Structure 1
Amino acid sequence: MIIEPRMRGFICLTAHPAGCAQNVVNQINYVKAQGPVEGPKRVLVIGASTGFGLSSRITSAFGANAATIGVFFEKAPQEGKTATPGWYNTAAFQDEAEKAGLYAKSINGDAFSDEIKQQTIALIKQDLGQVDLVVYSLASPVRTNPRTGVTHRSVLKPIGATYTNKTVDFHTGVVSEISIEPCNEEDIKNTVAVMGGEDWDMWMDAMMEAGVLAENALTVAYSYIGPVLTEPVYRKGTIGAAKDNLEATAFTISDKLKSLNGRAIVSVNKALVTQASSAIPVIPLYISLLYKIMKEKEIHEGCIEQMYRLFNDRLYNGSTIPTDEKGRIRVDDWEMRTDVQDEVDALWTKATTETLPEIGDLKGYKSDFLSLFGFGVDGVEYGTEVNELVPIKGLQ
């Protein structure tokens, strides 16, 4: 079939298998060009099919020559209907891993469930024995707690007061004002239940009990802080409450891992175009301005650049892992530089529908967004027939 992007709000309803595959190959080539990482050899990535999770898996496999197991929840393709991008990303990753002689297997299912946890543990026991690194990179808006059976849904709301600021429709380029009503206590509880650290803790408990964590095992989860500009809707909003919980959970897990000389840690990453960030008002405008500045300063990074730097410079640098006063790794350090944020603040006051094409990088934002779904990727022949029914090798 000929596949074109079909948009609905901040979601693209189609994905291009060849474009997704090329994205994966590009990331692999980047890692190879940087050189080997003295990293882990047996890795589990929970949330392995897109974004930071996918880049973590690529860095582990093609940087550290690691055996990897990836867990994710993606829709398979059907006749005349494309899969979700993460399906095609994983299919391409599996193909490239096979060519490179690397162990790689994948599990498609609800990572929040006990069933998928036990299936994953059984696969580790069968094939790898134990793992050295567990990457926790889930980004779902909904979670059913396997203990209670309650389904929780996260919300993007400020806490305490209505938040009003600028935003941009990245499809049209129209800058407008938006107001977001504050949440209630139930909203906070639900968002923490979905995006906080409870499920990460459950994964690590199950793996500890099963004996599939190696001596000195490390587990890392991903977070974001962002600038004062976005605080009300992000870090001091419902999502921020969930991130606070996630970061606190790292210390709880670390205490449990002491018997293995293991450690849990949170990496605070840079703002990037993702399906999740595109849904948060204010963030697309902030990223458009941020990208313009960071590209001009030649310090812009995408997912793979971030993850390679995290693995090579922080997690596996041959010495102590550098952290901030709250015990977090900061690979958002370039984004949060004073000179960068001062320039974002100055541009923010000037941002209008008319000025944004010049002062921001909305074009880069749109390009990155389409690329998430395999569209607009250099070297791909769009407008020609492709097979949407792509299988994933190594799928359990």
Structure 2
Amino acid sequence: MIVSPKFRGFICTTSHPAGCEYSVRKQVEYVKNQKKVNGAKKVLVIGASTGYGLASRITAAFGCGAATIGVFFERPGSKNKTASAGWYNSAAFEKIAKEDGLYARSINGDAFSNEIKQKTIDLIKKDLGKIDMVVYSLASPRRTHPVTGEVFNSVIKPIGSTYTSKTVDFHTQLVSETTIEPANEDEIRQTIAVMGGEDWEMWMDALKNADALEENAITLAYSYVGPEMTHSVYREGTIGKAKDDLEATVTKINENLKGIGTKAYVSINKAVVTQASAAIPVISLYISALFKVMKEKNIHEGCIEQMYRMFNDRLYSGDLKLDSKGRIRMDDLEMLPEVQAEVTKLWNQANNDNVKDITDIESYRKEFFRLFGFEFEGVDYNADVDIDISIEGID
């Protein structure tokens, strides 16, 4: 089958198996070309199929030589429909790990459920005994509570007042104004239930109770702060409330697991193009300006560069460089005052006449399609490809 990109808003409804494998191999190649990290050896990544979760798994495996178990919820392919990009990414990861003689197994299912938690624990106990690192990198729009059965749906909205700002459609490259009405109390509650820290805490409690954690294990979850210009819809909006809850969960996990020395951290990561970030209004214009500035300063990073730097320079360097709230700040380069000043200037200047020239909107567009395996120069998109790819180590 010849696969072409088909998209609807911020979702691409097709993905390319060869392109996804090419992307994963390029990330693996980057890590293998860096110095080895004396870090984790048995790693669980919850949300392992795309973005920062995938980059964390690649870094653990090919940077630290770790055995990895990945948990995700992805759609396999069929005769007439491509699999999700995360499925192809995971298939490629396991294929490359096997080539290098690394242990890699995957579990496909709802990570919020007790069933998948138990299935994961059973696999850990059977194959690895205990693990020394847990990465929690779930990005989902909804969650079914494993105890009450309530279904929660998250929203991206401001709190308290209507938010109006400029944005750019990266498909048409047209700048416009967007207005978002404020969330009500139930929408805030549901967003926290989906994107907050409760499920992370449940995972860690389940692993502890099963005696599946090594002493002094590390667990990480990922968050974002961002610039003032996006705070109303992000950090001070519904997502921000959920991220506050996620960050507060660090204290709970550290208290619950202090008997075995487990340490929990939240890493504040840099803005990148992901399926999750593409859904947030105004972020496309901000990231397009940010890419322009950071590339000019030669400090731009994607997911894999950032995750390798976190493992090598922070987690296993002896100097985490925590901020006043105890968070790892991998957005340190993004938030440099001189970077933010230039991004703000471009943001204020951007309009339909100049957005292509003063921002890197074309790179944003390209990075979006690369999430789904398209737009890579090293892939022949006119070639017939098998879209029904299996994942060898899946449970």
TM-score, normalised on structure 1? 0.99
What does residue 18 of structure 1 align with?
Answer: 18
Gaps of 5+ in 2: none
What does residue 48 of structure 1 align with?
Answer: 48
What does residue 322 of structure 2 align with?
Answer: 323
What does residue 362 of structure 1 align with?
Answer: 361
Gaps of 5+ in 1: none
Letter in 2 for 1:315: L
Q: Deviations over 1:241-265 (max 9, x none)?
A: 0000000001110111211111000
Tell me how many residue pairs correspond in the alignment: 395
Structure-to-structure mapping, 1:250-329, within 5 angstroms: 250-317=250-317, 319-329=318-328
Letter in 1 for 2:149: G
Letter in 2 for 1:103: Y
Question: 1:21 Cα deviation (Å)?
Answer: 0.1
What does residue 247 of structure 1 align with?
Answer: 247
CA distance in 2, matches of 1:5, 1:172: 16
What does residue 73 of structure 2 align with?
Answer: 73
Q: Deviations over 1:7-61 (max 9, x none)?
A: 1111100000000000000000000111211110000000000000000000000
**Partner SS for 2:110:** coil
What does residue 389 of structure 2 align with?
Answer: 390
What does residue 341 of structure 2 align with?
Answer: 342
What does residue 3 of structure 1 align with?
Answer: 3
Letter in 2 for 1:360: T
What does residue 224 of structure 2 align with?
Answer: 224
**Stretches of 4+ moved more than 2 A in 1?**
none
**Partner SS for 1:91:** helix
- Identity among equivalent positions (%) equals 61
Structure-to-structure mapping, 1:64-143, within 5 angstroms: 64-143=64-143
What does residue 39 of structure 1 align with?
Answer: 39
Q: Deviations over 1:345-385 (max 9, x none)?
A: 11111100111111000110011000000001121111110
Q: Deviations over 1:124-156 (max 9, x none)?
A: 000000000000000000000001100000000
**Partner SS for 2:276:** helix
What does residue 166 of structure 2 align with?
Answer: 166
**Partner SS for 2:58:** helix
CA distance in 2, matches of 1:279, 1:256: 34
Structure-to-structure mapping, 1:172-191, within 5 angstroms: 172-191=172-191
CA distance in 2, matches of 1:109, 1:91: 15
Letter in 2 for 1:381: D
**Partner SS for 1:247:** helix
CA distance in 1, matches of 2:162, 2:59: 41
Letter in 2 for 1:51: G
What does residue 60 of structure 1 align with?
Answer: 60
Letter in 2 for 1:350: Q
CA distance in 2, matches of 1:285, 1:320: 34
Q: Deviations over 1:139-192 (max 9, x none)?
A: 000000001100000000000000000001110000001110000100100000
8 Å CA contact 2:313, 2:319 repeated in 1: no
1:193 equivalenced with 2:207 (yes/no) = no
Q: Deviations over 1:261-319 (max 9, x none)?
A: 110000000000011111111000000000000000000000000100111011111x1
What does residue 152 of structure 1 align with?
Answer: 152
CA distance in 2, matches of 1:177, 1:25: 39
CA distance in 2, matches of 1:127, 1:320: 32
CA distance in 1, matches of 2:377, 2:251: 43
**Partner SS for 1:323:** coil
CA distance in 2, matches of 1:108, 1:354: 46
**Partner SS for 1:175:** strand
CA distance in 2, matches of 1:172, 1:362: 10
CA distance in 1, matches of 2:302, 2:377: 16
CA distance in 1, matches of 2:368, 2:226: 20
CA distance in 2, matches of 1:353, 1:117: 49
